[in-house]
Chains A and B, each alone.
Chain A
């Protein structure tokens, strides 16, 4: 067991939790404003693909991240229009976006790179840097700052979100719109405008989470590389009761479970001495999500108007 619980497990956890945090906090903005965002998975894929493609051409990961934010924001806006302006069923529309990104990256990469879904490999020095590469730190701190800058920024985003929600007018209005849009409207607030902002923000943040997957944690985009992370992020959001810090902790928990299973591969053995079949280890994050959701959702209180399009005249 000792060989599992090492510092590398901590770093592994941080690495695996990072995209979840970005996506989940993004989802928080949307859901606290009352719009269910099932499309985090698709938005992450949008960010991942865009980041890889743009970084490949511009040789700059920052351009990649920026483009990822824009691309995901665009599709989030599309989702917002369908859900807010056309009052579509938010879960169905979100599923549409997810299916769109099962296919769109493949078509685009086929056209750009003549591949069946992946982007070309990006050289190491063009990927997102670690914190230590960006900030000058003394040698004794090196080991602590070997995390990606994106992970560090995730922490900042959580803190910022906490502040915004409770100490700014925007946050107050966002919360009111998600709890009781009629009351917010009666107080003179533009309900739908705030909801648009919430959904687009969720795209921006989920896009960064996706970008981290392709140009931070890895060096290219592959088909469906999110592998359900967008949904796990949503589960973390529910588990975290739609609150920033608790959501982040839920993401860390899921990241830890994921990291543990990776460490276990090849280390933990069946009584017969054989390796545990890889498929069982692959299953673990998903089973954990199911169990966590079943155990804790009853105690979670969703924003009051979540999932209900605001229609004044009905």
Chain B
């Protein structure tokens, strides 16, 4: 019964969001049917449709996991965007600075850089909350702006190839490249950027599941998110959990850098993120903050993102921002239906 509800309500939310989105498209003056056909239809062709969809899903799985873990710990991480930018730059920095190392050393080193950088940028609002009680929502958003500015500065003034008009860094060493899945799957050309970071994303999802439900650390994170006073009573340091949860969340968001820098562009490209951090919020909520649900929700949003390109190109009036609107509607509907999910009525006042 619970599984049915776990599937039914998110599906209902998606349906309602699509309906409301159709109304908006109609108001704007385009055909909802045509728009949705473009939006959903291009994701399933082979190799481009599926290849690109899975590629787009990779960062969304990471940010979705990031937000989901934070929510399990009782925190709302809106800072995934900043965390992934900082991490992507750090990844590129290691890849450039140590360009001459062999892949067997450089790749793990770059991955560690992504994870650590993301963890640090996520831990900052965690520490601010634990130490000063300031709300992580405002702080993570502020840090998003700071991250973008910081990374932009470093790219523009220190790591750009002189004379290159594009805001991007020099390329990383060839040892930092990770293979594309086209190397293993027949029929999948190498030009499609789907790479082994996708498999890493799936692995991460499983690891998050194990962490949250099979380890004592996950128990403590979930307990703190559910009821900090009871967690404290049970001997858990709530402050430590807040910082730890935000660090793990930031680390997960940071892994987007692995996909982007090591598997796709082989450099840091300023502004590469297509709102991955914010989409992660919708992904986590739709996936009911469960790592496996996150994967499914990420795939859905990847389908939409893939569909955004033809929508932009082939419709008269609607642009690919309709995808953002659909995400927002999903968030609102999921948030609203959470009320129905909140168990049966509690006992009335005793007596």
Contact = CB atoms under 8 A, between A and B. Distances in A.
Contacts of B276: none
A100 B132 contact: no
Among B78, B331, B337, B348, max chain A CB count under 10 A is at B331
Nearest to A290: B142
A265 B28 CA distance: 41
Given A107-B24, A110-B319, A294-B132, A289 B345 contact: no
Contact of A297 (B76, B133, B156, B322): B133
A313 B348 contact: yes
B13 to A, nearest CB: 11
A106 interface: yes
Contacts of A38: 137
A91 B141 CA distance: 13
B219 to A, nearest CB: 23
A100 B329 contact: yes
Nearest to B127: A294
Contacts of A183: none
Interface centre among B282, B332, B336 (most CB of A within 10 A): B332
A168 to B, nearest CB: 30
B28, B143, B345: most-surrounded residue (chain A CB, <10 A)? B28
B321 interface: yes
Nearest to B28: A111
A107 B322 contact: yes
Contacts of B337: 86
A199 interface: no
B132 A298 contact: yes
B28 A107 contact: yes
B322 A97 contact: no
A104 interface: yes
B145 interface: yes
Q: Looking at chain B's contact residues, is the secondary structure mostly helix, strand, loop, or mixed?
A: helix
B351 to A, nearest CB: 16
Interface in B137-162: 137-139, 141-143, 145-146, 149-150, 152-153, 156-157
A134 B188 CA distance: 67
Nearest to A103: B324
A279 B346 CA distance: 53
B37 to A, nearest CB: 18
Given A88-B338, A298-B133, A107 B318 contact: yes
B87 interface: no
Interface in A71-121: 78, 82, 86-89, 91-93, 95-104, 106-108, 110-111, 114, 116-117
Nearest to B342: A87
B285 interface: yes
Nearest to A41: B141
Nearest to A99: B328
Interface in B54-87: 76, 78
Nearest to A287: B146
Residue from the set B29, B135, B323 with the largest chain A CB neighbour count within 10 Å: B135
Interface string A267-302: 000000000010110110011011001110110000
B317 interface: yes
B104 interface: no
Q: Is the interface of A mostly helix, strand, loop or mixed?
A: helix
B325 A95 contact: no
Contacts of B338: 86, 88-89
Contacts of A228: 141-142, 145
Q: Which of B133, B281, B321, B345 is the most central at the interface, judged by chain A CB atoms within 10 Å of its CB?
A: B321
B275 interface: yes
Nearest to B327: A99
A100 B134 contact: no
B138 A293 contact: yes
Contacts of B152: 279
Nearest to B322: A107
A88 B319 CA distance: 30
Nearest to A79: B332
B332 A283 contact: no
Contact of B145 (A101, A104, A107, A283): A283
Contact of B134 (A96, A101, A102, A293): A293
Given A111-B317, A294-B134, A314 B332 contact: no
B166 interface: no
A279 B139 CA distance: 19
B266 interface: no
A106 B149 CA distance: 23
B199 interface: no
Contacts of B319: 106-107, 110, 116
Contacts of B134: 290, 293-294, 297
A78 B324 CA distance: 17
A235 interface: yes
A221 to B, nearest CB: 14
Interface of A: 38, 78, 82, 86-89, 91-93, 95-104, 106-108, 110-111, 114, 116-117, 227-228, 231, 234-235, 238, 277, 279-280, 282-283, 286-287, 289-290, 293-295, 297-298, 313-314
Interface of B: 24, 28-30, 76, 78, 128, 131-135, 137-139, 141-143, 145-146, 149-150, 152-153, 156-157, 275, 278, 281-282, 285, 317-319, 321-325, 327-329, 331-332, 335-339, 342, 345-346, 348
Given A86-B335, A102-B324, 19 more contacts: A82-B336, A89-B335, A92-B76, A96-B329, A96-B332, A97-B332, A99-B282, A101-B328, A103-B321, A103-B325, A103-B328, A107-B322, A107-B325, A110-B319, A228-B142, A279-B152, A282-B149, A293-B134, A294-B131
